[in-house]
């Protein structure tokens, strides 16, 4: 028995399902999860010492690779001064200043501990600011596991075939209005049906929780106009896209200014961090300036702050990283498309910047319904084929891949070569 299989059996005796985040259980692909012992650069190493080329990057934050030396050194240097104070630090100020320098349209920033917390807090703030309760989200977009967001949440819920989440109150669910991603007309109909009741529209500007799904040209500008016309707060969930697609995230990439923006993943360099920020007129309603309450003992944790600051500063000082990452991901997309064509397997490869996903279908994939209609069983076979060949993909057909800049073109050729050997 290999170590991962043994550890999974042991874990199930002590942890629900043997994992601390559901997708890790491999229920979406079958088999048992791989237990990771260490990671360096572009590679993961399991408990048996097998090396894998990592196409997940810890679901996004390891944009410069694992154990990135400047980040590791910064953590080590800070740790000797203590790991948590529960009091303000200069690091928090420096981090907020850096985020404001890099991201358009951010006047104030509040640090939190996760993307879930950031999105939950941003929605509460939007409700407090507008004095409305309902909000619109999109099918297949995942904004964390706060109750209000678990309606048609895509990602892990879709992987586990969970349609309705027990424990989410009916009143909470009733205030969550859902539309199809890229369907601007559907959004307008919801707004018209709930006139002056919608506090916010929250959207992944580039979806990453039903695979990588790009916004159609009219979609984000259309949302911005609808929000302006109806007094609705537009929230960009940039937990995945923030600092990954561009230094200023999707706002910079598409030239669209949201009212509030949520962050996570990259800003912690792999440590538990999130943040939300936006226009001063809205952010001033958060406590202690206003009455919308949000708090957290570990918010602005010094270890997380120094790690995130070090990574973001590197990205700011080396903007060519985004060009390099996009070129590598584009190279991989072309290689995969050619490989599937040669194999005679209908496949769509969606990509933007360093986000990419494979969908086994002959039709374009522009929303959750398109993604759900793909050949999931074929993805499961492809996943295990790649795993056996030392390629670590997301264990779900409903997740984006996230490449890191430690990957070499030789690594990408290895991924392409393994795909060319895929046998149905």
Domain shared by 239 and 346, yes or no: no
Q: Does the pLDDT value for residue 396 go beyond 80?
A: yes
Both 223 and 326 in one domain: the answer is: no
Q: Are residues 380 and 335 in the same domain?
A: yes
pLDDT band at 154 (very low <50, low <70, confident <90, very high): very low
Does an H or E element contain 387, and which? helix 376-388
Structure tokens at 139: 């099918």
Residue 88 burial (C-beta neighbours within 10 Å; 0-12, 13-18, 19+)? exposed
Residue in this structure with the two tokens 């991201």, named with its chain if needed: 103
Instruction: Tell which of 285, 317, 349 closes a domain.
Output: 317
**How would residue 424 be classed by pLDDT, with cut points 50, 70 and 90?**
confident
| Alpha-carbon gap, residue 93 to 256, rounded angstroms | 26
| Mean of all residue pLDDT scores within the chain | 94
Question: In the prediction, which pLDDT does 174 show?
Answer: 84
Residues 245, 374 share a domain? no
Whether residue 218 is found in the same domain as residue 339: no
Q: Are residues 157 and 138 in the same domain?
A: yes
Q: Which region, left, alpha or beta, applies to residue 393 given φ > 0 means left and ψ of -120 to 50 means alpha?
A: beta
Say what the pLDDT of residue 1 is: 67
Full residue range of the structural domain in which residue 58 is found: 3-67+319-420
Instruction: Enter the pTM of the model.
Output: 0.94
Hey, which residues does 108 pair with through a beta bridge? Answer: 278
pLDDT of residue 161: 52
pLDDT at 163: 57
Is residue 282 located within the same domain as residue 402?
Answer: no
**Residues constituting the chain:** 424
Task: Pinpoint the alpha helices (H) of 80-177.
Answer: 90-102, 115-130, 155-159, 170-174
* Per-residue pLDDT tens digits for 284-309: 999 999 999 999 999 999 999 999 99
Reduced to 3 states, what is the DSSP secondary structure of residue 190? helix
CA-nearest of 84, 123, 62 to 271 is 62
Q: What is the pLDDT of residue 151?
A: 77
> How does pLDDT run across 19-64, given as a tens digit for each residue?
998 888 898 899 999 999 999 999 999 999 999 999 999 999 999 9
Please state the domain count of the chain.
Answer: 2
User: What is the average pLDDT across 147-152?
Assistant: 80
Whether 155 has a pLDDT exceeding 60, the answer reads no
Q: Let me know whether 301 and 323 are in one domain.
A: no
> What are the tens digits of pLDDT across the range 325-383?
999 999 999 999 999 999 999 999 999 999 999 999 999 999 999 999 999 999 999 99
Report the b/e string of 306-343 with b at 16+ CB within 10 A. bbbbbbbbbbeeeeebbeebbebbeebbebbbebbeee
The string of pLDDT tens digits covering residues 254-276 is 999 999 999 998 999 999 999 99
pLDDT band at 164 (very low <50, low <70, confident <90, very high): low
Residues 221 and 121 in one domain: yes
Among residues of the chain, what percentage have pLDDT more than 90? 90
Enter the tokens of residue 72: 């590791």
Q: DSSP assignment, residue 36?
A: E
* Domain final residue pick, 297, 317, 337: 317
63/77 same-domain check: no
CATH number, residue 13:
3.90.1150.10
The 10s digit of each residue's pLDDT in 195-221 is 999 999 999 999 999 999 999 999 999
Same domain for 382 and 332?
yes
Question: Can you list the alpha helix ranges (DSSP code H) found in 231-375?
Answer: 249-254, 280-283, 302-317, 320-343, 368-372
* 399-419: average pLDDT: 98
CATH number for the domain including 203?
Answer: 3.40.640.10
Q: What positions carry a catalytic annotation?
A: 142, 237, 265
- Dihedral pair phi/psi, residue 262, rounded to 5°: -110, 145
Phi, psi of 72 (to 5 degrees): -60, -45
Residue 222, token pair as written in the block = 């259309």
Q: Taking residues 179-208, what's their average pLDDT? A: 97
Q: For residue 39, list its beta bridge partners.
A: 44
Statement to judge: residues 309 and 414 lie in one domain:
no
Which of 294, 317, 340 represents a domain boundary (last residue)? 317
Q: Which residue has the higher pLDDT, 112 or 155?
A: 112
């Amino acid at each position: 028995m290999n170590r991962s299989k043994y550890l999974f059996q042991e874990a199930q005796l002590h942890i629900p399902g043997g994992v601390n985040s559901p997708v890790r259980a491999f229920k979406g692909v079958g088999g048992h999860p791989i237990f990771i012992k260490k990671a360096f650069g572009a590679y993961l190493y399991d408990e048996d010492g097998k090396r894998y080329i990592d196409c997940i990057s810890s679901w996004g934050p390891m944009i410069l690779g694992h154990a990135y030396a400047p980040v590791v050194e910064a953590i080590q240097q800070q740790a000797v001064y203590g790991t948590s104070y529960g009091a303000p630090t200069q690091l928090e100020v420096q981090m907020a200043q850096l985020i404001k320098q890099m991201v358009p349209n951010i006047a104030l920033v509040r640090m939190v501990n996760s993307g879930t917390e950031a999105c939950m807090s941003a929605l509460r703030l939007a409700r407090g600011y507008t004095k409305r309760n309902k909000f619109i989200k999109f099918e297949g977009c995942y904004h964390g596991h706060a109750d209000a967001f678990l309606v048609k949440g895509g990602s892990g819920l879709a992987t586990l075939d969970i349609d309705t989440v027990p424990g989410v109150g009916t009143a909470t669910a009733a205030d969550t209005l859902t539309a199809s991603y890229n369907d601007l007309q559907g959004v307008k109909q919801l707004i018209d049906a709930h006139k002056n009741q919608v506090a916010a529209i929250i959207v992944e500007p580039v979806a990453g929780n039903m695979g990588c799904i790009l916004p159609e040209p009219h979609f984000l500008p259309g949302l911005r106009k609808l929000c302006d016309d109806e007094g609705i707060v537009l929230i960009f969930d940039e937990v995945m896209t923030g600092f990954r697609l561009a230094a200023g995230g999707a706002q910079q990439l598409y030239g669209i200014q949201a009212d509030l923006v949520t962050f996570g993943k990259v800003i912690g360099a792999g440590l538990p961090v999130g943040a939300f920020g936006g226009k001063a007129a809205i952010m001033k309603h958060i406590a202690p300036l206003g009455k919308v309450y949000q708090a957290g003992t570990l918010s602005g944790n010094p270890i997380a702050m120094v790690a995130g600051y070090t990574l973001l500063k590197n990205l700011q000082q080396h903007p060519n990283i985004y060009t390099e990452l996009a070129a590598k991901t584009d190279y991989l997309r072309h290689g995969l498309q050619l490989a599937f064509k040669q194999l005679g397997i209908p496949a769509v490869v969606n990509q933007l910047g360093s986000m990419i996903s494979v969908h086994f279908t002959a039709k374009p994939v522009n929303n959750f319904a398109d993604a759900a209609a793909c050949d999931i069983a074929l993805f499961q076979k492809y996943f295990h084929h790649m795993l056996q060949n030392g390629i670590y993909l997301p264990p779900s057909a409903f997740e984006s891949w996230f490449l890191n800049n430690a990957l070499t073109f030789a690594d990408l050729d290895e991924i392409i070569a393994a795909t060319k050997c895929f046998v149905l």
